[in-house]
Structure 1
């Protein structure tokens, strides 16, 4: 006989499965060859490691540092 914990576990598993299915349905974009901020070439290693990156590592780091100021 199933108890409330079993029902809760089934519900959580269903939500996890739905979330994973939604992630798989998202389109995968190619990484940009040139940085959108400084127009320098984004190294191939970064483009392979970070899918759909639009900035070089230096510009991305700067962008994240500036963004943290607004999060406070």
Structure 2
């Protein structure tokens, strides 16, 4: 049950949109192409097992972890527009 001017199912539509955005973001971050033998950030060798497990990999484990930590910190969107998010 939606209130105000929102139609029935508006909350579910918002949830679906959030999930679709998260899936699209995850897919865009997947590596593609040929794996590199050395990390493009720190030039350390990438183990063969990692290259086989993740086709198209360009970063070593430590550089990939740093990148993911930065990306997670940037993706703090509150779609609901709660009062807390407006006060920050």
Superposed pair shares fold, TM > 0.5: yes
Deviation at 1:29, TM superposition (A): 1.5
Q: Distance in 1 between matches of 2:41 and 2:72?
A: 18
| Counterpart pick for 2:59 among 37, 55, 69 | 55
Structure 2 residue runs of 5 or longer lacking an equivalent are 1-31, 77-88
Q: Any residues of structure 2 matched to 1:1-72 within 5 Å, and which? A: 29-72=33-76
TM-score, normalized by length of structure 2?
0.49
Deviation at 1:60, TM superposition (A): 0.4
Choose between structure 1 and 2: higher helix proportion. Answer: 1
Q: Deviations over 1:8-52 (max 9, x none)?
A: xxxxxxxxxxxxxxxxxxxx6210111011100000000000000
Runs of 4+ in 1 over 3 A off after TM superposition: none
Structure 1 residue runs of 5 or longer lacking an equivalent are 1-27
Larger relative contact order, structure 1 or 2 (CA cutoff 8 Å, min sep 6): 1
Q: Distance in 2 between matches of 1:46 and 1:58?
A: 12
TM-score, normalized by length of structure 1?
0.59
Query: Aligned pair count?
Result: 45
